[in-house]
A = this chain, B = another copy of it.
Amino acid sequence: MHFELTILGSNGAIPAYDRHPTSHFLNYNGDGFLLDCGEGTQMQMARYNIKRGRLDHIFITHLHGDHFFGLMGLITSFNLNYREHTLHIHGPKGIEEIVRAHFTYAQTQLRYPIEFHIVTDDRPQVVYENSQLTVESIILRHRIPTTGYLFREKPGQRKILPEKIALHEIPVSEIGKIKQGADYTMPDGSVIANHDLTTDPAPARSYAFCTDTVYTETFLDQIQGVSVLYHEATFVNMHRERAAETMHSTTTEAATIALKANAGKLIVGHYSARYEDLAPLLAECKEVFTNTELAIEGQSYII
């Protein structure tokens, strides 16, 4: 299964140096998921050839503008492009009221339904699920209620060893059960253990999206072993006081979370507009967690 992240907006609150407010696009086997929708997201999608047709779920972390001011434009363009199928918006209390207020004043009647799913910040929970994925909320600590999101693949089926199936002349009707882990009983009553017929499925992959937040370990257990962790790193260490004041994280804090969570990879972003050169941020992260990459707009990362 294809599982790929594309960065649409990498910057913090103020756009700068052609870096845009936060938005991440996840492609899971052709299904699109948008994480935050800063101003200009629809233009960034066009710029990087993101297909909108299969985007049915948008997840908003919190109601600071740099995380959702692009939502109204995207919704409106969907409408003008004759979208008919439902759009699901997952986000904090208030998001529905803001969206509906716009349409009231614009006297717009949407051609397609929007379903709002309010995500609370009291405890982590599964906020969305389909046959292949679950999405859980992650409780973050910021100036207003904020939740991250954790995408997890559901465990795959065991992989059949075709030569063993042939050898034992196992009928096709049994394959489904064997993929799910069942042993096979031969016509003579002898039992062949599942692990002689199959190999382990590919490990389930996961992507955690943690922005905006101070350093907090409250969600470490939840994201333990995550394949790719995105954690905001708005400031370098020298500006740690500013980070505390605005309830953001430093490079070292983001990298420490990645280390303690045993993440496969860390991607950092939400850069303060004061940094034109991002190399120092990357260097500080790598001192703590080697496998760190910068979120770069237009760049894709295979999960």
Question: How many monomers of this protein are in the complex?
Answer: 2
> Could you tell me if B76 and A65 are in contact, using CB atoms closer than 8 angstroms?
yes
In the assembled complex, how far is the CB of residue A42 from the closest CB belonging to chain B, in whole angstroms?
6
Q: How far is the CA of A279 from the CA of B18 in the complex (A)?
A: 29
In the assembled complex, how far is the CB of residue A97 from the closest CB belonging to chain B, in whole angstroms?
7
A13 is contacted by which of B76, B98, B101, B144 (Cβ under 8 Å)? B76
Chain A, range 131-155, C-beta contacts under 8 Å to B: 143-144
Using A15-B46, A40-B40, A97-B101 as known contacts, say yes or no to A69 and B72 having CB atoms under 8 A apart. yes
In the assembled complex, how far is the CB of residue A261 from the closest CB belonging to chain B, in whole angstroms?
29
Interface flags, A52-66, vs B, CB<8A=1, else 0: 000000000001111
Q: How many of chain A's residues touch chain B, expressed as a range?
A: 35 or more
User: A204 interface residue, CB < 8 Å from B?
Assistant: no
State which of A22-30, A102-110, A295-303 sits at the interface with chain B. A102-110
> Could you tell me if B63 and A13 are in contact, using CB atoms closer than 8 angstroms?
no
List the B residue with the shortest CB-CB distance to A74. Answer: B39
> Could you tell me if B105 and A70 are in contact, using CB atoms closer than 8 angstroms?
no
> Could you tell me if B65 and A69 are in contact, using CB atoms closer than 8 angstroms?
no
Interface flags, A84-113, vs B, CB<8A=1, else 0: 000000000011011001101111000000
User: A77 interface residue, CB < 8 Å from B?
Assistant: yes
